[in-house]
Amino acid sequence: MTGSNGGIPRWVDVGLIPLINILMAFFVSGLIILLIGEDPIEAVGILLYGAFGTDYGIGYTLYYTTNFIFTGLAVAVAFHAGLFNIGGEGQAYIGGLGVGLVLLSLDSSLPLILLVPISILASALFGAAWAYIPAYLQAYRGSHIVITTIMFNFIASALMVYLLVNVLIQPGQMSPQSREFADTSWLPFMHEVFAWFGMSITRSPLNLSIFWALICCALVWAFIWRTRWGYEIRTVGFNETAAVYAGINPKKIVILAMCVSGGLAGFVGLNEILGVHHRLLLNFQLGYGFAGIAVALMGRNHPIGIILASLLFGTLYQGGAELSFDMPKVTREMVEVVQGLVILFSGALALMIKPTVERIYVVVAAIAAGRRSTVEG
Amino acid sequence: MDDFFILLVSTLDATIRVAAPLVLAALAGLYAERSGVIDIGLEGKMLAAAFAAAATSFVMNSAWAGLLAGISISVILALIHGFACITHKGNQVVSGVAINILVAGLTVTLGIAWFAQGGQTPSLTNDARFSPLLWPGAEAVKDIPFIGGLYTEIISGHNLLVYIAYLAVPLTWWVVYRTRFGLRLRAVGENPAAVDTAGISVTALRYQAMICCGFLCGIAGTYLSTAQNAGFVKNMTAGQGFIALAAMIFGKWKPVPAMMACLLFGFLDAVANRIQGVSMPLVGEIPVQLIQALPYILTVILLAGFIGKAVAPKASGIPYVKER
């Protein structure tokens, strides 16, 4: 999308430059940790142990990863159409509402094997519906999707507070949350799945949703690169005028891309509501929608990249939580700092180092060519 | 009748106080967007300024030092946004999101490291805050019906930053519509190529607009932590930067209508706090959440073109590439 490649090979463009960008983000994060008086190297060690040192840590890391995959894919699909879906937060929230409503009405009357597909459908449908309105307004009324999706995040939040405080609250309860679903309707935890095979691992919130996240990665890959819709989405994102001449209706594509995007974000509700909390509650989606932007940028909008970036952020989330026990000054919020820096360096400043890298590459290539010619000569 | 009047006065008083930071932030967004730079980082800049102001006020025991710190950090963030979007032609929305997330994390991280109070700053004494200014004669006329209440509660008795906020509105109007800088600012947001052709630097103009933007957000953030409250609390902007953004759009990128939108949103907020649990005639109890969501809903409806048409500056969001 950036036009000319400046004569640098592909591996520099898609491998080296993003890597340098991320390293810069980590470097600045390290400086901030130094600033608050802790040792960044030691912090990384504790963080990695916290995330991967125990099966409990791995469970949590992968549980966070699951959410990041969903929101990362959501942002990426919209990006491919040239749209910025900043409303993942609200779509995830409403997606969770969809799951919650299904479970609250059907949990004791249907078996799990039916509830799971219905919940998947409901979260996708609700998330997509929440994305549909901004998409429609963008396509047919010309309102800016960034602004409307931001507004819809706040509207979703107000709606959920209203519903949980006034409508869905468990009678006799003070805290705004629904009743717990019947335990036959819970998505099995990973430690339970392992127990079926006689293996014992420590309890963690990791549940079967992670497989759905991986399936979604494959589906999104197929959708974007192997279907006509995906082709049309990419065409509109690449050049809307050209798309029109090719007979594509950009308005429909905007709505399609946003609905797919919203549906993917809605799956956060699946992981959180059906998988972990087993009841509808407030703010279960907090931060994942925005983190999806960092994940998509870092993963270059490709499912493989998104899995890797999600794993990285999952590691940061879990490791960061553990880190605060050993270094009280380094809390979960430090992860937000890293996230912000990653978005800044790999997103907003993505092109900053490109000219420099190009110049260095040309010089290095010239030297290498010169040496080869002297060796040959 | 008397009760109603007292309620009205207190609601209007609250409206003015709640709307003040919105007005400042909306004007900040106006400078940025009129120059062609979308800034959804108003929230982040306000939050950073709120933290810097509270931390500095506490350490130096001076509200003025706090104001200076708040403005400085906000201008620095605005310049980072400019560096990414103007110099490096990065995506303006991405950059704004980055600043919001970065600041949300950094304020708490630094707060914990420096003050060890769970991300808050210690509460400020009155010396370290902007306290209400009592206008001459306010005490004397207080008991006169109507006029007394209006003068004492609504006109007098706010802190300095509130007056600055409302003075910034005519000032911005004058700058944008009556000065050479304003003319160029509007031009660069509509047609940067023409401005460039006239031999004026698009880059310099946009950076100047970003400084104005940072300056005003800085005052807005300072107001939150050292005037409205007595210290910084984690995520204390709570979406006000986005409400200000909405107000600016609602005001169609014009200073006075933007202020009116801020007052409307502030009024909704003040009303929401007062009618909680109160049953209204005819409609019954109105959910507070509905009133809280109204600014966002109204903005969406406006953007959809159902009440008037909101047209953004033509070049906003598009990095300017000089032809070679």
Burial of residue A180, with CB atoms counted within 10 A of its CB: 0-12 exposed, 13-18 middle, 19 or more buried: middle
Domain presence at residue B308: no
The whole domain housing B80 covers 2-123+143-303
ipTM associated with this complex: 0.89
Rounded CA-CA distance A78/A223 in Å is 13
Residues of chain A neighbouring B238 (CB-CB closer than 8 A): none
- CB pair distance less than 8 Å for B249 and A341: no
- CB pair distance less than 8 Å for A146 and B93: yes
Rounded CA-CA distance B317/B85 in Å is 9
Q: Tell me the one-letter amino acid at A222.
A: A
pLDDT value of residue B188: 93
Domain presence at residue B294: yes
Which of A143, A161, A168, A282 to probe the B interface (max B CBs under 10 A)?
A143
Domain presence at residue B315: no
Burial of residue B286, with CB atoms counted within 10 A of its CB: 0-12 exposed, 13-18 middle, 19 or more buried: middle
Burial of residue A33, with CB atoms counted within 10 A of its CB: 0-12 exposed, 13-18 middle, 19 or more buried: buried
Task: Give the tokens for residue B125.
Answer: 């004494």
> Which pTM was predicted?
0.90
DSSP H or E stretch at residue B260: helix B255-274
Can you list the residues of chain B whose pLDDT is less than 50?
Answer: none
Q: Does residue B112 contact residue B118 with C-beta atoms inside 8 Å? A: yes
- CB pair distance less than 8 Å for A348 and B299: no
Rounded CA-CA distance B159/B179 in Å is 29
- CB pair distance less than 8 Å for B109 and A148: no
The β-bridge partners of A189 are A207
Rounded CA-CA distance B199/B76 in Å is 27
Q: How far away is chain B from the Cα of A161, in angstroms, using its nearest Cα?
A: 7
Residue, of A37 and B19, whose pLDDT is higher: B19
pLDDT value of residue A376: 66
Candidate from A60-64, A362-366, B16-20 with smallest mean pLDDT: A362-366
pLDDT value of residue A4: 47
Residue with tokens 């202020």: B259
Residues of chain A neighbouring B300 (CB-CB closer than 8 A): 133-134, 137, 143, 148, 151-152, 155
Q: How far away is chain B from the Cα of A206, in angstroms, using its nearest Cα?
A: 26
CA-wise closest residue to B61 among B123, B132, B146: B123
Q: How far away is chain B from the Cα of A247, in angstroms, using its nearest Cα?
A: 26
- CB pair distance less than 8 Å for A297 and B94: yes
Helices (H) and strands (E) in chain A, counts: 16, 0
> How many other CB atoms are there within 10 angstroms of residue A329's CB atom?
18
- CB pair distance less than 8 Å for B292 and A297: no
pLDDT value of residue A5: 52
Q: Average pLDDT for residues A307-316, to the nearest whole number?
A: 93
Residues of chain A numbered 235-264 and touching chain B (CB < 8 Å): none
Q: What is the pLDDT of residues B130-162, one digit of tens each?
A: 888 877 777 777 777 777 777 777 787 788 999
Task: Give the tokens for residue A6.
Answer: 């400046």
Residue with tokens 């460039």: B196
- CB pair distance less than 8 Å for B102 and A335: no
Find the helix packing angle between A88-106 and A250-269, rounded to 10°. 60
Residues of chain A neighbouring B290 (CB-CB closer than 8 A): 158, 162
Residues of chain A neighbouring B114 (CB-CB closer than 8 A): 36
- CB pair distance less than 8 Å for B93 and A152: no
> Is the pLDDT score of A2 beyond 70?
no
Quick one: how far is CA A173 from the chain centroid? 33
CA-wise closest residue to B261 among B271, B252, B270: B252
Q: What is the DSSP string of B33-67?
A: HHTT-----HHHHHHHHHHHHHHHHHHHT-HHHHH
Residues of chain A neighbouring B312 (CB-CB closer than 8 A): 144
pLDDT value of residue B174: 97
Nearest to A339 among B101, B109, B112 (CB): B101
CATH code assigned at B222: 1.10.3470
Rounded CA-CA distance A249/B51 in Å is 48
Residue, of A85 and A350, whose pLDDT is higher: A85
Which of B45, B85, B109 to probe the A interface (max A CBs under 10 A)?
B109
Q: Tell me the one-letter amino acid at B143.
A: D
Q: What is the pLDDT of residues A156-205, one digit of tens each?
A: 999 999 999 988 988 888 889 999 999 888 999 999 999 999 888 899 99
- CB pair distance less than 8 Å for B300 and A152: yes
Inform me whether the C-beta atom of residue A333 falls under 8 Å from chain B C-beta atoms. Answer: yes
Q: How far away is chain B from the Cα of A373, in angstroms, using its nearest Cα?
A: 35
> Is the pLDDT score of A117 beyond 80?
yes
- CB pair distance less than 8 Å for B99 and A344: yes
Number of domains in chain B: 1
Rounded CA-CA distance A261/A92 in Å is 10
* A287 to chain B: closest CA residue: B101
Domain presence at residue B163: yes
Domain presence at residue B136: no
The 3-class SS string of A65-76 reads HHHHHHHHHHHH
Find the helix packing angle between A17-35 and A354-376, rounded to 10°. 120
CA-wise closest residue to B44 among B89, B100, B97, B98: B100
CA-wise closest residue to A89 among A289, A293, A339, A336: A289
Rounded CA-CA distance A160/A152 in Å is 12
Confidence band of A318 (pLDDT split at 50, 70, 90): very high
Chains A and B form CB pairs within 8 A to the count of: 161
The β-bridge partners of B284 are B280
